[in-house]
Structure formats: structure tokens, C-alpha cells
A and B are shown apart, each in its own frame.
Chain A
């Protein structure tokens, strides 16, 4: 899922990379590096208001009036339009397999899935390999940087924000230069907005719980984003001392205040029992 805009001077790419050079070093483990917390919290308050007045009611409306099949088609179409960009990022990361899977999925669903509204590719096990330029930067060794909450876009980091900008600027669909492809790209952008609304409706309970029922929704969103992102990026995230972030082992039996994972090999393990002995 990536944001796409209509105007995108490619000249901005070096600027994004320069901004990235200013990133602060990534913290180890599950630590949170949030030097801009006061500003981030102000943005979070704004984002909650935006959700309350716009996204949440739209999600409710979508739940009420949009048939499930139509909602799924919008999400699939939006994702399909972002597959060429994901394939490009796969190539930039040297991940030929993911690039091939995303390309194959794009071609298959565009040809046999009603231009990407359907998902016959899933039936042959060809699932999206979600990626973006933030991951490419991580693979290239860029540090995660400080945590950021972006207006309307939500949780991010310095590295991911720079990546998001580059993804907007570098969409392979734009290079084709045909009117039909350009129209397709624009419908993809519209579908991206629709996707946000449909998914807000689909995960109504979980998102409401996070945004409105938590004692500190800012801190919960921050922790969830960083954990999920580091899990997605794996060793490239630079957050686990090179260890895979896949296990999440927390030893709740051990601890004493230590929220940090016990060992690099088990970054997610918490031992609650050691806590109690």
C-alpha cells in the first residue's frame, strides 16, 4: 500500500535521499527512538480528529452500503496498481524472487482478473510480496531514524517517510507514457483512497480499540508500528543487532522491568515466568 499523487517531479528524489542522510542511528531491539515526541503527539491528536470526523464515518458507511465483494475488488485493484512499484523495489533490493512474484501477479490479475479487480493469482498461490522504498533503503543500510507520526498518513519513521516520498515519485506505470496506462494509474490512486475507507470499516473494532479505548493511543500506535515494521523488514530493519525479528520472544516468566527481548535469536520472546520466580 503506497500513497500516489498526480504530480511527481523526479528531481525530488535526491532531496529525499539527502533528507535521509540526516537520519539518526537506529536503536536496538524493541527500543523506541522518539526525539520528536511532543510534535508527534500533536500530529496524533490531529489524526484522531480526522479519523473521528472523516475516515471512521466513511468506514461505517462503507460497511453499511458497500457489498463485501465490491470492497474486496477495490482493495485488490488498488493493490494491483501498486505492484509495478513493488516489483521495482524488489529489483532495487536485489530480491529477484519477490520482484518476479509481484510482476507475475500484476500481469496475471490484469489479464485474467478483470484489469486487477479480481484476484485469480491468489488461487495459484501468487500473493503480493509487500514492499516499498522504505524497505529498499533499509536493505541498502540506511538507519531507521527517529519515529514520526505523519499527518493523515500515520505512524512512520524518518527512513519510511523518505521511502514514501520516493515511492510517490517513482512509479513505473508512469514511464510507459500511454494514455491508457496513465488512466489506469489514476484510477489506482482513486482506489487507494477507497482502500483506506474499506479497510477502516473492515477493521473497525481493532482500530477503534487502538485509537479510542487505549489509555495512551499514541504510545500503543507507536509500539505496534515499530514492532510490525521491524518484523516486516527482518534483519534489514537494523533494529535487532542483525537478528531476524521474526520470533517476538518475550519471556514474561523472567524479566524484571526488562521489556527487551532476552536474546538476539529470539527477539520477540518475553519470559513472564522468570519475572515471578
Chain B
């Protein structure tokens, strides 16, 4: 059974988080996080580097500001119960690269557009920061970041684009990937890595 403590410990071992005491995140801190993320994405776009280099930057931005250990643990769902700590750590490492590639790549669609913070509100846990993305030739659309600071600094643990929820979509996808491999977590880790 993986507890939150062992999970955070393995995350810290990976250098993904700093093991500091947890406080509830404030709306101000959550908004600041999203503002910083948007500024970093815009800076990469403005730099005009080749697309491959930009994608690598987007992945780094995603990893820097996302609560990847929490996301990885959640998307594994019930399969997490049967996983050993070593498997969890390997999965987290493999999944980080996968999810950063997949969702960091989405930032590319913001080229030529702009994202602005609209408002922030408290959630049952953490804070929702609502943003409005304006891409060329499109009506404005809504992107929400769900932010918490359980690791000691504000990180987003969910991303909702026009109602499409990253955690729910990813949990379904990971389940399908496991099914396709006869439920073998080791095979999934090997394929993701």
C-alpha cells in the first residue's frame, strides 16, 4: 500500500519536490503561479527558436509547475494498490516524461495567441485559477488550473480546457494502456520510458 508519505518521499528522491510542510494555497499564490507559467510560455514563444527546441522548453515548464507525483498517483487509480514503492517510483519517472510531452506540447497552440488570468476561487482543496485563452481566428476559450501547495510550493494538479479534464482523461487513458498490456505495470513503465 502506497501512502502519501512514501509517495512524497520517492518524489523527493527524484528531485521533483521539496519535502516542506503543507499549507493551504492562497488565491494570490495560485494566481501568481499561473501568471508565471503563462509568462514562461510566452517568453519561449517570443524567443523564436526552432519548434523542437520550443517543445523541449514547454516540457520543462510543465514539469516545473505541475504536481507530477500527485497526477501520476491519481491516474494509476486502483492499480496503485498493487504497486510496490519501486514500481511507483519507476512509473512516476516514466509518466512524468510522457505527460510533459503530451500536455506541454499543447502550449504550442498558444503561438500567436495570449492567455490572461480572469479570476481565482477556492475549491474543496486548493484554488482554481480561471484563464481565458485568445488564439488567432478563434473565439476566446477557458482554461482552468487547479493549484495546491501540499509539497510546500504552489503547483497545479489539474488542467481543464473548455471542460475537458486532464485527470479524468489521463486516468481513463492509463487504464486503457494497462488493459492493452494485460494489466502489467512493468510493461507499461517500460513502454512509457
> A: which residues have CB within 8 A of B?
30, 68, 71-72, 75-76, 119, 127-128, 130, 203, 205-206, 209, 214-216, 219-220, 223-224, 227-232, 245-255, 257, 259, 262-263, 266, 268-277
Contacts and interface: CB of A to CB of B under 8 A. Distances in A.
A252 B124 contact: no
B3 interface: yes
A215 to B, nearest CB: 4
Interface in B129-172: 136-137, 139-140, 142, 144, 146, 148, 150, 157-158, 160, 162-165, 167-169, 171-172
A227 B74 CA distance: 19
10 contacts: A30-B165, A227-B165, A230-B163, A246-B142, A247-B123, A253-B148, A270-B165, A272-B67, A273-B125, A276-B4
A245 B163 contact: yes
Interface stretch (B30-38, B89-97, B102-110): B102-110
A269 B163 contact: no
Interface centre among A68, A232, A269, A277 (most CB of B within 10 A): A269
A136 to B, nearest CB: 19
Interface footprint category on B: 35 or more
A215 B164 contact: no
Contacts of A119: 137
Interface string B166-187: 0111011100110110000000
B7 interface: yes
Interface centre among B71, B144, B165 (most CB of A within 10 A): B165
B124 A271 contact: yes
Contacts of B177: 215
Given A249-B124, A253-B70, A227 B168 contact: yes
Interface in B1-43: 2-4, 7
Give the top 7 A-B pairs by smallest Cβ distance, nearest first.
Answer: A231-B163, A252-B74, A272-B74, A248-B160, A216-B176, A215-B176, A276-B4
A30 to B, nearest CB: 6
Contact of A214 (B71, B142, B148, B173): B173
A224 B164 contact: yes
Contacts of A262: 124
B125 A215 contact: no
B168 A30 contact: yes
B128 interface: yes
A220 B165 CA distance: 11
A130 to B, nearest CB: 6
Given A273-B125, A274-B125, A223 B169 contact: yes
Contact of A72 (B7, B137, B157, B173): B137
A216 B124 CA distance: 31
B124 A269 contact: yes
A182 to B, nearest CB: 27
B54 interface: no
B78 interface: yes
Contacts of B164: 223-224, 227-228, 231
B61 interface: no
A276 B163 contact: no
Contacts of B109: 203, 205-206
B102 A209 contact: yes
B137 to A, nearest CB: 4
A205 B108 contact: yes
Interface centre among A128, A266, A272 (most CB of B within 10 A): A272
Nearest to B171: A259
A163 to B, nearest CB: 18
Nearest to B135: A202
A92 B167 CA distance: 36
A130 B139 contact: yes
A272 B74 CA distance: 5
